[in-house]
Every structure is written in structure tokens, then in C-alpha cells.
Amino acid sequence: MPKFSANLGLLYPELPLLERLAAAAADGFRAVEFWFPYDIPADQLAAELKRHQLICTNLNAWPGEASADEFGLATNPARRETFRESVRQAVDYAVALGGARVHVLAGVPPTGVSLDTAWRSYEESLQLACTLAHEQGVEVLIEPINPWDRPGYLLTRQAQAVALIQRLGCPNLRLMMDFYHVQRGEGDLIRQLHEHLPWIGHIQLADVPGRHEPGTGEVRYSYVLEAIDRSGYQGWVGCEYQPSSGRGANLEWLGGRVPA
């Protein structure tokens, strides 16, 4: 059975973020991951992680202004300095939280920015992010997001992400493969896993449709989890799903508790 981390951006939605750490630990999780934890000082988060004997696997860099429909700054050349500061902030948090990986969102190219310009900006932004992160010993993740959930998002396919990783040649740049987005946008989960395994730094899961826990949709996760075990993947698998009950972590698919 793979090692599971609790994505605290979605699990335990009824609780404030710090209380989600205690809930995750009580359910048997040994690791957690964050979306955007920047409202809480890094040292306070680190203390709570230590108190509950949890590690942090990864977190997202700040995505920009929600009021401006930003979901990632890397494709916008006019936001380069803000992007730089967001990466520095994320790397500082990653170091304070024990060396977590930083996910850099690509974003949706803004109106007036061509696809060629957006891709050029994205590649330059990733190189900058990898340089800043490498100085602190931190890895950077990129994640393809399906075009149905996030229309216009620049990075949508696993092969596209891997080609980008190979082209940039940054030693600390890795793929975050989210099976929810793979199934929703491409399908063929097991082939995608095996084909792109050498570049995977982190895996996430949720069922389709609904983005709820495994067992609520069309994906046969018992087979997928066996395939992860057989692949030799040694990293964490993030439970990034919306509990169908609207609360807690809905761990019935794991027998009610995360296996030790």
C-alpha cells in the first residue's frame, strides 16, 4: 500500500487549518500537504507539525489575486516580479516546514498575451523558480490541470509537462501527477504512471466525477494503488479530494483509517 498524505486544502473542511493537522494525525496520516497556508506564520505551522509528528510533503506557491481570476502567475510576463516574490515566500515556508516541495502553478494566459508569449514566460518563470528553490535545496513541482475544471490553463497534459522538464534541464524540477486531472483530461492512468514515472515527484488522487474519495466514481482505485506499488514509486500519494460527506476525510476506502 502506498504512503498517503492528507491534502489539508480539501480534507476536514469543517475545521480551521491548524485543527486539520490534529484531525489528520488522529486518522493515521503521517504527512500532510497544503494549498496556500500563508495566513499562518511558518514557524507556527512548523510547531504544529512537530507537535503532531507530521511531515509536510508539498505546498503551492501563491497563485495571484482571485479577484482578478489569477490562478498562477508564471504565464504573465507583466507579473514577473510578483511571481519572484511568491516563489521566495513559498521556498521560505518549504524550508521552515522541513524541506517540502513547492508547486508552481502555470496559470491562464491573460487577455492580450499570445500562447507563444505565455509559453516563453512560463519557461523563464520556471527557470527562475528552480534557481531560487535550488539555492535552498527545495524541489519544484509542476502539475497538468484538466481543461474542464480550469479552462484556459496552459499546462494540461502529462507528456507536455515531461517534455518541458526535459527541455529546461533543471535538476530540481519534477512532475506532480494528479490522477483526478489525468482521468478527467486524458485517461489511461496506468500507462501514464509507468511512462512518466522517472519524472514523478509526487502523486495525488481523487475519483471522477465529483472529485470525491476513491470508491465514489469511475476509477478502480484498488487496481491503481496496486499499480503504484508494483511501479516501485517510493513517494507520497496525496489525498486531494472533497469528502463526499462534506466533512472529515471519508476514509472508508482505506478501512476507516490510514494504514500504518
Q: Quick check: helix, strand or coil at residue 31?
A: strand
Q: How far apart are the C-alpha atoms of 78 and 115, rounded to whole Å? A: 15
The reply to whether 143 belongs to the active site is yes
Catalytic, out of 48, 139, 143, 213 = 143
- The one-character DSSP state at 173 is E
Taking the CB of residue 41, how many other CB atoms lie within 10 A of it?
12
184-205: b (≥16 Cβ within 10 Å) or e: bbbeebeebbeebeebbbbbbb
The reply to whether 252 belongs to the active site is no
Which of 3.40.50.280, 3.20.20.150, 3.60.110.10, 3.60.21.10 would CATH assign to domain 3-254? Answer: 3.20.20.150
CA quadruple 177, 35, 101, 168: dihedral positive or negative? positive
Q: How far apart are the C-alpha atoms of 242 and 252, rounded to whole Å? A: 14
Please check whether residue 221 is in contact with residue 255, taking contact to mean a CB–CB distance below 8 angstroms.
Answer: no
pLDDT of 242 above 90 = yes
Please give the pLDDT value at position 202.
Answer: 98
User: Tens digit of pLDDT for each residue in 71-108?
Assistant: 999 999 999 999 999 999 999 999 999 999 999 999 99
Q: What is the mean pLDDT of residues 228-241?
A: 98
User: Tens digit of pLDDT for each residue in 17-34?
Assistant: 999 999 999 999 999 999
Q: Where are the domains of the chain?
A: 3-254
Nearest 5°: CA angle at 104, between 171 and 176? 70
Please check whether residue 190 is in contact with residue 224, taking contact to mean a CB–CB distance below 8 angstroms.
Answer: yes
Q: How far apart are the C-alpha atoms of 42 and 100, rounded to whole Å? A: 12
Q: How far apart are the C-alpha atoms of 205 and 9, rounded to whole Å? A: 13
Q: How far apart are the C-alpha atoms of 22 and 40, rounded to whole Å? A: 16
Q: CA-CA-CA-CA torsion for 160, 166, 169, 172, nearest 10 degrees? A: 70
pLDDT of 66 above 90 = no
What is the secondary structure of 19-44 as a DSSP string?
HHHHHHHHTT-SEEE-S--TTS-HHH
User: Tens digit of pLDDT for each residue in 142-186?
Assistant: 999 999 999 999 999 999 999 999 999 999 999 999 999 999 999
Strand partners, 33: 7
Mean pLDDT of the chain: 97
Q: How far apart are the C-alpha atoms of 244 and 113, rounded to whole Å? A: 38
